[in-house]
Amino acid sequence: MLIRKPDALYGTNIPSSEITPKDKWLNRRSLLTGAAAAGALALGADRLADVLSPTRTALAAGKLTTVKSQLSTTGEELTQLQDVTSYNNFYEFGTDKADPGHNAGILPTRPWSVKISGLVKAPKVLDIDSLLKLKPLEERVYRFRCVEGWSMVIPWVGYSLSELIKVCDPLPSAKFVQFTSYFDRKVEKWTSESNIAWPYSEGLRMDEAMNPLTLLTLGLYGDVLPGQNGAPVRVIVPWKYGFKSAKSIVGIKFVDKMPATTWNDLAANEYGFYSNVNPNVDHPRWSQKSERRIGQPFYAQRHPTLMFNGYGDQVASLYNGMDLKKFY
């Protein structure tokens, strides 16, 4: 039975010691750019309300035909489209939360193709239209939890990544999947502001990638993905911290060894390969016991963080016998 029940998230009393202080998660960004970025970040939150990108105003037309999904999380208030599209991490388009909403509209999303390579029967290149047509598009409402301590509830559009993986025909020796994001310094000039070794890259173990919850994501709120949310195609892995969900994917490679990933390369002690949402394993610099739901009134924003972001009944068995403190 995969239909999720509403969670009793409200009315809890979380001690202030468990709330991630803003200066702590802002420090995450200083990993990338040092003092200059930290200065720029200070402006960020205050500018959120008045961000209006051309991409975002083009949304809400409901351009994608979707079917409801049994894998939807139900019972929680959706985060407003305006918040979903104006409070983003997409470092190719700037380090401020508001930057991607301003800048990512220039992503050239047509034509777009995804290269399938590595341990597969036959490498191939799939264009975005064939991905849009491969399977009926489902609307799946998922909780999305960022490692920084904020969360949203978003109606994504797509289908299980496993459907695409079947088409890719991986060899039995494929144990991991690596995702590579679009990178063009001429388009994403903000990449020079940070010390990430571009392109952005992420990875999943094969069984994680094959779990039906892992979503090949082509839209949100009934429309194609806006640039700032990873147009035209990304993955969403709802039981993991948000950074595992690579945006604007141009490459999917099947490999036999755990692949290098962007955040793990940058600070392995802070961002492990697994990065499952886990309130019992603190980030070295802040607690992960609770989260701030973006867009809710101040008094209602704080929610306890749930093990595997609340998707434990569907994914906990993937980690049987593993010490999740060691494999964070």
Binding site for ligand MTE (CB under 6 A): 88-92, 146, 181, 200, 229-230, 242-243, 245-248
Contact 250, 184 (CB under 8 A): no
- The CB-of-158 to ligand MTE minimum distance in angstroms stands at 13
In the structure encoding, which two tokens stand for residue 88, read together? Answer: 């983003």
Question: Rounded distance, CA 133 to CA 248, Å?
Answer: 18
Considering beta carbons, is residue 155 or 242 the nearer one to ligand MTE?
Answer: 242
Question: Rounded distance, CA 324 to CA 328, Å?
Answer: 5
Using the structure block, give the residue that is written with the tokens 């094959």.
210
Contact 138, 68 (CB under 8 A): yes
- The CB-of-122 to ligand MTE minimum distance in angstroms stands at 27
Considering beta carbons, is residue 98 or 119 the nearer one to ligand MTE?
Answer: 98
Question: Rounded distance, CA 149 to CA 301, Å?
Answer: 11
Contact 239, 153 (CB under 8 A): no
Residue closest to ligand MTE when measured from CB atoms? 242
- The CB-of-85 to ligand MTE minimum distance in angstroms stands at 8
Considering beta carbons, is residue 170 or 230 the nearer one to ligand MTE?
Answer: 230
- The CB-of-11 to ligand MTE minimum distance in angstroms stands at 26
Distances (CA, A) of 306 to 2, 64, 130, 298, 310: 17, 31, 36, 20, 5
Considering beta carbons, is residue 165 or 235 the nearer one to ligand MTE?
Answer: 235
Question: Rounded distance, CA 29 to CA 270, Å?
Answer: 13
- The CB-of-101 to ligand MTE minimum distance in angstroms stands at 9
- How many helices (H) and strands (E) in the chain? 10, 13
Considering beta carbons, is residue 78 or 256 the nearer one to ligand MTE?
Answer: 78
Question: Which helix (H) or strand (E) covers residue 291, if one does?
Answer: strand 290-293
Considering beta carbons, is residue 200 or 273 the nearer one to ligand MTE?
Answer: 200
- The CB-of-65 to ligand MTE minimum distance in angstroms stands at 22
- The CB-of-18 to ligand MTE minimum distance in angstroms stands at 20
Strand 290-293 versus strand 302-304 pairing type: antiparallel
Contact 104, 228 (CB under 8 A): yes
Question: Rounded distance, CA 267 to CA 261, Å?
Answer: 10
Considering beta carbons, is residue 34 or 70 the nearer one to ligand MTE?
Answer: 34
Considering beta carbons, is residue 118 or 238 the nearer one to ligand MTE?
Answer: 238
The vertex-136 CA angle with 67 and 54, nearest 5°, equals 75
- The CB-of-204 to ligand MTE minimum distance in angstroms stands at 13
Considering beta carbons, is residue 41 or 119 the nearer one to ligand MTE?
Answer: 41
Question: What residues does 118 pair with on adjacent strands?
Answer: 254
Ramachandran angles phi, psi of 156, nearest 5°: -80, 165
- The CB-of-164 to ligand MTE minimum distance in angstroms stands at 18
Instruction: Give the relative orientation of helices 35-47 and 22-33 as an angle to the nearest 10 degrees.
Output: 130
